[in-house]
Amino acid sequence: MNYTFDFTPIFQAWGLLAQGAWATVYISAISMALGLVFGIVLTALRMAPLAPLRAFAIGYIELVRNTPFLVQVFFIYFGMPELGLRLNAMEAAILTMTLNCSAYIAEIVRSGVESIRPGQIEAGKALGLSTPDVYRFIVFRPAIRAVYPSLCSQFVLMMLNTSLVASISAQELTYAAQMIDNRTFRSFEVYFVLGAIYLVLSQLFSVGLSMIGRVYFSYPTK
Amino acid sequence: MIRTFGFPELLFILDGAKWTVLMSLAAFLFGGLLGLLVALARTSKIRPARFLALCYIQLFQGTPLLIQLFIVYFGLPIIGIRVELWLALITGLSLHASGFLAEIWRGSIQAVPEGQTEAARALGLGYISRMRDVVLPQAFRISLPATVGFMVNLVKGTALAALLGLTELTRAGQLMSNITFEPLKVYATVGLVYFAICLPLTLVSSRLERRLNARG
Amino acid sequence: MSQTTIHMNDVNKWFGTMHVLRDINLTVNKGEHLVLCGPSGSGKSTLIRCINALEEIQGGTIEVNGNVLGKKGANVDHVRRDVGMVFQQFNLFPHLTVLQNCMLAPRRIHRISEAEAKDKAMHFLEQVHIAEHGHKYPAQLSGGQQQRVAIARALCMGPQIMLFDEPTSALDPEMVKEVLDTMVGLADQGITMICVTHEMGFARAVAHRVIFMDRGEIIETAPPTEFFGNPQHERTRAFLSQILNH
Ligand SMILES: Nc1ncnc2c1ncn2[C@@H]1O[C@H](COP(=O)(O)OP(=O)(O)OP(=O)(O)O)[C@@H](O)[C@H]1O
Ligand SMILES: [Mg+2]
């Protein structure tokens, strides 16, 4: 082994990496928020009293969960223009991420809702609350709390998934690294540093999310 | 010059699926063997072993698969191992799988009631026999739904090989998309092939899960 | 002279193929206190759950304050507004404080202001002697305290009828009394009450009529003195000897 490691050109390009890291955080945060909203809508459809709505939700969720994210990205970015939907790389990235996230989130949220004792829902109904109110004010928070750890690890996986949108030239962290690689030909060093940055990002996401959880779910349970 | 998306193009894509299946199986096999060792280390009584296993798992769960593949691909030559692309990819995917499977199996091993280990110890069984004959068979049953679920992730993960240039399913799609200019049809087809591979696994996984929950 | 508030006419209910309520006929007058008892699985819970439409019925009619509970949810909202319910497992909402538990439904349904809802909640929490715990979460209260909060929460909606489904049977023995005392106090105010309970002391003290159910049927209905002193039916006697002997 007579390879000499040289990390200097990579550290010299720290500005690019910082920009890329910021874009990664930005794409992830937006897609997670939108994905959460759509995921909850999907959960509602998944549990709706009308069979066609349920079938649609199940079909969507399984289609997304059983195909690679990368293919979904290509489908949206290269395929959608055929249907007249022309998106730039960043838009395509965020749209695909959101669509992808929502399916996984829907599955997690559903199991949260199913963990709520029926007595809670009955108590709400007995008080005269409408079904939407029962879910919004009574079921929602305890349901999310029950699955919060899986939700968080899903969020971290999604953040790591954003590395794939570099393949359509969406300018995030991996894209920035690839530019540095093209300039310096220090491939191993570049991806080594890149991996380290992602590792830090994923730890930060974990800590951040669990802090949010501690605030939002601060009520005591037995 | 421009071809339409027809039967030969479909065949080309299906041919790519061979690589997808092969890489998935190989990565599951090698990753499983390595993952089992890591899981045992993670649940062992030796502190440094537990700590190292924890770091190992965190490393693979805290970085993108794509970067793991790049590091292996560019790193192998540095440590003097020159291999073909497909071998490098299988190595990377196996390492990735070992990290995730180790974590799944750690959970399952710890889900086996403590009393089982104690009873085995009371019978005078040593570590190897305790694990092989008592704990692992039970942990295996508990881990089955998640393990099969992870196989789905692994199949999807092989798509990343396309970005390093191996003509598996996704890259076959890219190539066909480039010559037919019909990306919508091509990627829909590619997606459906993945779906056809993954859905049965997903169904088996959720069925196993229901059976496990029913037994309590 | 006395006004009918609940009228059940030939009510039948099945769970799948299991016939759980058989030709139930029951009329409850305003201000009346009923105690419902019977062996496990006899259909007591199901009967009172039908009254506020937590269960659908397959035959007969139920009329509550002039609103007929038809099939498929007709009039459910009207009926639930008039009927409060207290469950065996309290069913307080764990993520809301005691006060928030009491304020949620009045705010959403009566659309009253936060201040007004809070006043009302405090009023009923005082009535059940738990006002000082208003800012605690359910998990921080004892079972008896939780059940009293559940009663206050139901009262905040101003119901004319209160249903109780074994309100004391999930409680440790030392907490049963505080909940029963609260219920006696409520009875003294003249609200209509139907209680599923095996607390026979409570039945003697407040019930106008005791109803014995077995296998989905009402077997016997009588004022407490007659019911306990001179039960008519063999099955009632067997049941009473069982629960009074332990
Ligand atoms: N949701 C349900 N689905 C199917 N069967 C049910 C359901 N709820 C109750 N049952 C059955 O209906 C019958 C009556 O139940 P119910 O809960 O009304 O009895 P109960 O008199 O309240 O008994 P307990 O004293 O145990 O509370 C029982 O045989 C019970 O198993
Ligand atoms: Mg009952």
* Res. B123: pLDDT tops 70: yes
**Ramachandran class of B84: left when φ > 0, alpha when ψ lies in -120 to 50, beta otherwise:** beta
The Cα A201–Cα A209 span in angstroms is: 12
Which residue owns the Cα nearest ligand 1 atom 29? Answer: C41
Q: How do residues A30-46 score in pLDDT, each as one tens digit?
A: 999 999 999 999 999 99
Residues of B with CB under 8 A from a CB of A: 58-59, 61-68, 70-71, 74-75, 78-80, 152, 155-157, 159-160, 162-163, 170, 173-174, 177, 182-184, 186-188, 190-191, 194-195, 198-199, 202
Nearest-Cα distance to chain A for B150, in Å, is: 11
The Cα B184–Cα B85 span in angstroms is: 29
Using CB atoms within 10 A of its CB, is residue C241 exposed (0-12), middle (13-18) or buried (19+)? exposed
Kindly indicate the confidence band of residue B216, based on its pLDDT and cuts at 50, 70 and 90: low
Q: Which helix (H) or strand (E) holds C163?
A: strand C161-165
The Cα C180–Cα C175 span in angstroms is: 9
| Prediction pTM value | 0.91
Q: How do residues A116-142 score in pLDDT, each as one tens digit?
A: 999 999 999 999 999 999 999 999 999
Q: What is the ipTM score, two decimals?
A: 0.94
Within chain B, residue ranges assigned H as helices are 7-42, 47-61, 65-78, 85-111, 114-122, 127-129, 136-157, 161-164, 169-180, 183-215
List of chain B residues whose C-beta atoms are within 8 Å of the C-beta of residue A174 = 64, 66-67
Asked if A38 and A103 touch (Cβ cutoff 8 Å), the reply is no
Q: How do residues B127-178 score in pLDDT, each as one tens digit?
A: 889 999 999 999 999 999 999 999 999 999 999 999 999 999 999 999 999 9
Q: Which atom of ligand 1 is nearest to the CA of C213?
A: 21
Residue A190 belongs to a domain with what CATH number? 1.10.3720.10
C84 touches chain A (CB under 8 A): yes
The Cα A108–Cα A119 span in angstroms is: 21
- Please report the pLDDT score of residue B155 as a whole number: 98
Number of compact structural domains in chain A: 1
Tokens of A137: 């004010």
Asked if C34 and C185 touch (Cβ cutoff 8 Å), the reply is no
Q: C4-244 — its CATH code?
A: 3.40.50.300
CATH architecture group of domain B7-215:
Orthogonal Bundle (1.10)
* Res. B87: pLDDT tops 60: yes
The answer to the question of residue A143 being in a domain is yes
Q: How do residues B174-191 score in pLDDT, each as one tens digit?
A: 999 999 989 999 999 999
Q: How do residues B22-38 score in pLDDT, each as one tens digit?
A: 999 999 999 999 999 99
- Please report the pLDDT score of residue A1 as a whole number: 59
Q: Which amino acid is located at A93 in the chain?
A: A
The answer to the question of residue A136 being in a domain is yes
**Contact at CB, B67 and A195, closer than 8 angstroms:** yes
Q: Which amino acid is located at B80 in the chain?
A: G
Domain range enclosing A167: 14-216
Instruction: Note the Cα B179 to chain centre separation in Å.
Output: 32
- Please report the pLDDT score of residue A222 as a whole number: 74
The answer to the question of residue A151 being in a domain is yes
Low-confidence stretches of chain C (pLDDT beneath 50): 1
Q: Which amino acid is located at B47 in the chain?
A: R
What residue ranges do the domains of chain C occupy? Answer: 4-244
Residues of A with CB under 8 A from a CB of B: 1, 3, 62-63, 65-72, 74-75, 78-80, 82-83, 156, 160-161, 163-164, 167, 174, 187-188, 191-192, 194-195, 198-199, 202-203
List of chain C residues whose C-beta atoms are within 8 Å of the C-beta of residue A124 = 93, 105
Q: How do residues C14-47 score in pLDDT, each as one tens digit?
A: 999 999 999 999 999 999 999 999 999 999 999 9
- Please report the pLDDT score of residue C1 as a whole number: 44
Quote the percentage of chain B above a pLDDT of 90: 83
Tokens of B5: 């998306």
- Give the mean model confidence (pLDDT) for residues A202-211: 95
CA-CA-CA-CA torsion sign (A180, A186, A191, A197): negative
Q: How do residues A156-190 score in pLDDT, each as one tens digit?
A: 999 999 999 999 989 999 999 999 999 888 899 99
**Contact at CB, A199 and B63, closer than 8 angstroms:** yes
| C241 CA → ligand 1 middle, Å | 23
Asked if B136 and B170 touch (Cβ cutoff 8 Å), the reply is no
Task: Output the CA–CA distances (angstroms, integers) from residue A74 to A97, B23, B77, B160, B177, in the order listed.
Answer: 12, 21, 31, 12, 10
- Please report the pLDDT score of residue C73 as a whole number: 63
Q: Mutation test of the interface with chain B: which of A78, A154, A161, A178, choosing the one with the most B Cβ atoms within 10 A?
A: A78
- Please report the pLDDT score of residue B1 as a whole number: 58
- Give the mean model confidence (pLDDT) for residues B33-52: 96
Q: Which atom of ligand 1 is nearest to the CA of C42?
A: 21
Asked if A119 and C91 touch (Cβ cutoff 8 Å), the reply is yes
Quote the percentage of chain A above a pLDDT of 90: 87
C197 C-beta closer than 6 A to ligand 1: no
- Mean pLDDT of the residues in chain A: 94
The Cα C110–Cα B112 span in angstroms is: 52
Q: Which amino acid is located at A209 in the chain?
A: L
